[in-house]
C-alpha cells in the first residue's frame, strides 16, 4: 500500500471526531471516501496530510482547547503522522482543500506557482506548469486574471491545478463538486479521471456517490467518525441499509 492508516483516532477535547479508522490506498488507485455531512471525511484527509496535528499545536499554544491524535499514518513505507505538514508535501502527499480557497488577490499563474513553493528545480516547475495548462486550458488563457474573479468551476480547476504543481504521488481531493452546476461538476470529475489516468494515485472525498462509485476502484463509507463499509461501488449500492441510511439513495 502507498498509504496505510491504522487505528487513527482524533478527539477535540472530549468530542471524538474520528474513531479507530483503518484504511489504505494502493499505488495507481482512485479511492473514494463518502458519507453524510459531519461524518469526519475532511478531518480524516486533514489528519492524513498533517494539518490536524498542526492545528493541535496552535490550539495548545493559545490555550483554546486540545486536539489529541492516536494511531499511525504510513506513506510509502514511512510513518508520517509525526512529520510536519510541509515535509509531507515534500514526500508527494498533497491536499487539495474543500471550497477551493484560492489566493483571491493573486493572478491565476501566481496561484499555480504558489503550489510549487517548495520546489527548487525551476525546470521541473515549468514542466509542471505546462502539464497543468494541458489539463486545464482555461487556466492558461486566464493566467493573468485575478483568481477571485473566476467562476466557481474555474476556481476548482485552479485548486486542483495548484495541487498538481507539487508533483503529487498521492493527491487527496476534498469535495470538488461543492457548489458547482451539473455540467461543470461533470467536467471537474472528467479532469480527475484524466489525472488518475496519468498514473497519479487519488483519494477523493465526495458526496456525489452515484458518480464517484463509477470512477473509483474502491470506496470507503464513513459515518459518525467510523468506517462502516468498504468495497466496490456495485457491492455498496446493493446494501439497502447503507444506500438509504448513509448515502441517501
SS (H, E, C) 120-185: CCHHHHHHHHHHHHHHCHHHHHCCCCEHHHCCHHHHHHHHHHHHHCCCCCEEEEECCCCCCCHHHH
Distance CA 58, CA 43 (A): 16
pLDDT at res. 245: 65
Whole-angstrom distance between the N-terminal and C-terminal Cα of the chain? 31
Contact indicator for 135, 195 with CB cutoff of 8 Å: yes
Is residue 239 over pLDDT 90? no
Mean pLDDT, range 238-242, rounded to an integer: 80
Cα separations in angstroms, 193 against 13, 126, 127, 197, 204 = 39, 23, 21, 6, 11
Q: In what order do the strands lie in the sheet with 201-206?
A: 93-96, 170-174, 201-206, 30-34, 218-223, 226-231
Q: Mark residue 116 as left, alpha or beta (left: phi above 0; alpha: psi -120 to 50; beta: remaining).
A: alpha
Contact indicator for 228, 246 with CB cutoff of 8 Å: yes
DSSP 23: E
Q: What are phi and psi of 34, to 5 degrees?
A: -125, 165
DSSP 246: I
Question: In the chain, what are the domains?
Answer: 3-100+169-246 (3.40.50.300)
Contact indicator for 9, 226 with CB cutoff of 8 Å: no
pLDDT digits (tens, 9 = 90+) for 106-156: 999 999 999 998 888 889 999 999 999 999 999 999 999 999 999 999 999
Mean pLDDT, range 34-57, rounded to an integer: 92
pTM, 2 dp: 0.93
pLDDT digits (tens, 9 = 90+) for 78-97: 999 999 999 999 999 999 98
pLDDT at res. 248: 66
pLDDT at res. 212: 92
Other C-beta atoms closer than 10 Å to the C-beta of 199 total 9
What pLDDT band is residue 230 in, cutting at 50, 70 and 90?
very high
The CA radius of gyration of the chain, in Å to the nearest whole number, is 18
pLDDT at res. 249: 67
H-state helical runs in the chain? 41-48, 51-62, 85-90, 108-114, 122-135, 137-141, 152-164, 182-197, 209-215, 233-237, 240-241
pLDDT digits (tens, 9 = 90+) for 65-78: 789 999 999 999 99
Cα separations in angstroms, 225 against 34, 52, 127, 244 = 12, 15, 39, 18
Is residue 247 over pLDDT 70? no
Mean pLDDT of the chain: 92
Amino acid at each position: 500500500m502507498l498509504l496505510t492508516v491504522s487505528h487513527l483516532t482524533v478527539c477535540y477535547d472530549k468530542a471524538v471526531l474520528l474513531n479507530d479508522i483503518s484504511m489504505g490506498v494502493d499505488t495507481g488507485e482512485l479511492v473514494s471516501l463518502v458519507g453524510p455531512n459531519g461524518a469526519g471525511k475532511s478531518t480524516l484527509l486533514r489528519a492524513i496530510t498533517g494539518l490536524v496535528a498542526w492545528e493541535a499545536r496552535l490550539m495548545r499554544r493559545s490555550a483554546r482547547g486540545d486536539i489529541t491524535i492516536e494511531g499511525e499514518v504510513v506513506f510509502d513505507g514511512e510513518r508520517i503522522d509525526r512529520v510536519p505538514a510541509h515535509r509531507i508535501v515534500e514526500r508527494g502527499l498533497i491536499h487539495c482543500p474543500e471550497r477551493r480557497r484560492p489566493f483571491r488577490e493573486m493572478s491565476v499563474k501566481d496561484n499555480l506557482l504558489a503550489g510549487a513553493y517548495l520546489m527548487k528545480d525551476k525546470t521541473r516547475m515549468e514542466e509542471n506548469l505546462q502539464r497543468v495548462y494541458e489539463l486545464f486550458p482555461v487556466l492558461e488563457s486566464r493566467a493573468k486574471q485575478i483568481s477571485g474573479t473566476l467562476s466557481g468551476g474555474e476556481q476548482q480547476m485552479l485548486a486542483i491545478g495548484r495541487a498538481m504543481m507539487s508533483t503529487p504521488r498521492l493527491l487527496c481531493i476534498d469535495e470538488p463538486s461543492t457548489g458547482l452546476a451539473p455540467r461543470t461538476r461533470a467536467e471537474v470529475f472528467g479532469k480527475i479521471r484524466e489525472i488518475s489516468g496519468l498514473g497519479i494515485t487519488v483519494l477523493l472525498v465526495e458526496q456525489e456517490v452515484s458518480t464517484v462509485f463509477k470512477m473509483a476502484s474502491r470506496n470507503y463509507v464513513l459515518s459518525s467518525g467510523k468506517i462502516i463499509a468498504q468495497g466496490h461501488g456495485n457491492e455498496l449500492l446493493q446494501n439497502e441499509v447503507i444506500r438509504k441510511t448513509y448515502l441517501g439513495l
